[in-house]
Structure 1
Amino acid sequence: MEELLGRIIAGKVTDENEQDYFVQVDGTTFRLDKAEIEKPLKLGSVFKGFAYENEGHDLQMTRNAPQVQVDHYGFGTVVRTQRTLGVFVNIGLPNKDVVVSLDDLPDMMELWPQQGDRLLIALREDAKQRLWGVLADGEVYQAIAQPAKKHMQNANVIATAYQLKLVGTRVMTDHYELGFIHPSERETEPRLGEELHARVIGVREDGTLNLSLRPRTYEAIDDDAAMLYAALQHSEDGHLDFSDKSDPEAIKAYFGISKGQFKRAIGHLLKDRQITQHDGQLWLVSAEAKTDTPSTED
């Protein structure tokens, strides 16, 4: 059965029952589900299809060949993980998921792909005729990559993490541009295969992208301002003992943001007449007072 599994091969239809045809290739018999066949096959005819071993350990052929094959790379979706084995990937077969070995995954299990993540893989057949998923390396990504355009500066992109390094995360966008995320441009390290919503902060001369997972400044202001406003709403009498002169460490401990972010959030809410600031405190503006000019005394 050498060099049969994980490939498109041709064989002779030798038998059938109510549910299956049986196709023989070099003395090895594969079953073929009749539900796939629109017109009946004749005994002795030649059938070409993708060969594999299904979850029941039966040899099977299918006319619906997946993109992922031996020496052919394609994206598959992670369906589950098994700590002692690796991750199971759906490549489009009806009754077979392919395992990417834990030996090929990050040392830290929290960086393993999770259900729904995508991996670019090919297949390999081991000495026991078992099919395994093989992760694409950097050369494969380079081979299929498209150069980024200069007009992509500041654009939003969706990308998949394919290489995790101490120096940063390498990704490929949905349009096949290659990108890099420096550790300073993320809050946490992405998982292998994780789909990321990023923004372009640089287009390099070699056609690759520098990306950030951090929000734009105005987006961060909106989020921080919303958080500050909610804190005031939940305070006992609509005020907090903070101002733009408060200690940075006290601000960080209470709100979890830097003093710079805090001051921008205050400015945003003052401009929108949501709050006032006086006597070293922040106050909610009552609904009746929102048409008045807010106080901005320090």
Structure 2
Amino acid sequence: MKELGKISSLLINRFTPNGAYLALRDGEEVLLPKSYLKGDEKEGEEIEVFVYTDSEDRPVAVTNRPNAIVDEFAVMEAKEITKFGAFMDWGLQKDLFVPKSEMGKDMVEGEKYLVMVCVDHKTNRLIGVSKYEDFILTDTQGYEPGQQVEGVVFDESELGFKVLIEGKFEGLLYKNEVFRNLAVGDKVSPFVKKVRQDGKVDLMLEAPTREKYEKGAEKILEILKVRKSLPLHDKSSPEEIQKVLGMSKKHFKQSIGQLYKDKKITIEPDGIHLT
């Protein structure tokens, strides 16, 4: 079933006392229980649903969206621990099961953990996996010092707070640089401090100094004093900016923003010009 674990727009095939049966791409049907219907739906109408399996492992559709769909991370609270695994709260009526074999470490009821939603192809059910290292990406070369990112705190160690960046990468906020209370599950908007060789990212909560962007502005200004204009602007590609100035697009935009604010340049459709 291709829709398992995903948000899909499905057509209503027919109604029964139990709810509406929706058409799947493989020709089968899935039940949207009556409790999820507003009452004004019609046959042939398209409806957006999330498809998973109920407590009896039967495919079922719901209009609620979980905290994470298949192949996505979310920080989830462990609601019940058994000898076989843990049941996690992911925002749906049926909890997400993390098998004991898929735990990165032993879980404690009431604590929160980073979990990836996966399909168990042996049982064709959705399960959670807390061995997050298997799914974290390490190609972080696109980040640079000073860049602001979005993330969520997912673990705490003696060294600091681990942060899931943009749902894909691992970052770290060092405890000796954090001056406010943080907890697992908190959303943060830190700045990149350093990109490490192992693909992990050192972060800081406070905004970086303006020194970097001031140097970028000085570089652009020196070039403009000679050339008077540059065919670069907000719409220029990162590759074009890198080739001409040797800086990232974000660095460029911050730098020209400073120059424009100081009325040292004008920004035109064909590029930037020295005033």
**In structure 1, the residue corresponding to 2:136 is in which secondary structure?**
helix
**Residue deviations 1:194-213, cap 9 Å, x none?**
8399xxxxx95446259xxx
2:184 to 195, 198, 209: 195
State TM-score, norm by structure 2.
0.51
Partner of 2:136: 140
> How many positions carry a matched residue from both structures?
180
Pick aligned residue for 2:163 from 172, 186, 189:
172
The one-letter code of the counterpart of 1:28 is E
Alignment of 1:36-185 (within 5 A): 36-38=36-38, 40-83=40-83, 85-93=84-92, 95-106=93-104, 109=106, 112-135=107-130, 136-137=132-133, 140=136, 159-161=153-155, 171-172=162-163, 178-179=171-172
> For the structure 1 residues 55 and 139, does the alpha-carbon distance in structure 2 shift closer, same or farther, using more than 3 Å as the test?
closer
1:117 CA displacement: 1.4
Does the aligned pair in 2 maintain the 1:76–1:121 contact within 8 Å? no
Change (3 A) 1:204 1:196: same
Deviations 1:158-180 (A, max 9, x none): 94317x8xx96762289998326
Aligned-pair CA distance for 1:53 = 0.6
Change in 2 beyond 3 A, CA 1:24/1:175: closer
Q: Distance in 1 between matches of 2:99 and 2:138?
A: 23
Structure 1 consecutive aligned stretches of length 4 or more whose deviation exceeds 6 Å: 141-144, 146-149, 167-170, 173-177
Report the counterpart of residue 15 of structure 1 in structure 2.
Answer: 14
Deviations 1:44-68 (A, max 9, x none): 3333311111113332111222241
Task: Measure, in 2, the Cα distance between the counterparts of 1:8 and 1:195.
Answer: 27
1:86–1:180 CA distance, 2 compared to 1 (3 A): farther
Partner of 1:34: 34
- Between the aligned partners of 1:113 and 1:119, the Cα distance in structure 2 is 13
User: Identity of paired residues, percent?
Assistant: 17
Measure the CA separation in 2 of the matches of 1:181 and 1:196.
17
2:56 partner SS: coil
Aligned AA (2:101): D
Residue 147 of structure 1: CA displacement? 8.2
Assess if the C-alpha contact under 8 Å between 1:124 and 1:134 holds in 2. Answer: no
Tell me the amino acid that sits aligned with residue 52 of structure 1.
Answer: Y
Q: Measure the CA separation in 2 of the matches of 1:128 and 1:196.
A: 30
Gaps of 5+ in 1: 150-157, 186-193, 198-202, 211-298
Structure 2 stretches lacking a partner, 5+ long = 147-151, 177-182, 187-191, 196-200, 205-275
Q: CA deviation at 1:36?
A: 2.8
Note if contact 2:75-2:154 (Cα within 8 Å) is conserved in structure 1: no
Distance (whole Å) between structure 2 residues aligned to residue 127 and residue 50 of structure 1: 21
2 CA distance for matches of 1:175 and 1:27?
36
Which residue of the partner structure matches residue 254 of structure 1?
none
Question: Deviation digits for residues 101-148 of structure 1, max 9, x if unmatched?
Answer: 2222246x4xx243241324222242321111133337637689x989
Q: CA deviation at 1:28?
A: 2.4
Q: CA deviation at 1:86?
A: 1.6
For the residue of structure 2 that corresponds to 1:137, the secondary structure is helix
Partners in 2 of 1:196 and 1:67 — Cα distance?
12
Letter in 1 for 2:127: W
TM-score normalised according to structure 1 size: 0.47
* Counterpart contact for 1:90–1:97, Cα < 8 Å: yes
Are 1:89 and 1:99, in contact at CA under 8 Å, matched by a contact in 2?
A: yes
Q: Which of the two has higher C-alpha Rg?
A: 1
Residue 179 of structure 1 aligns with an amino acid whose one-letter code is: L
SS, match of residue 66 in structure 1: coil
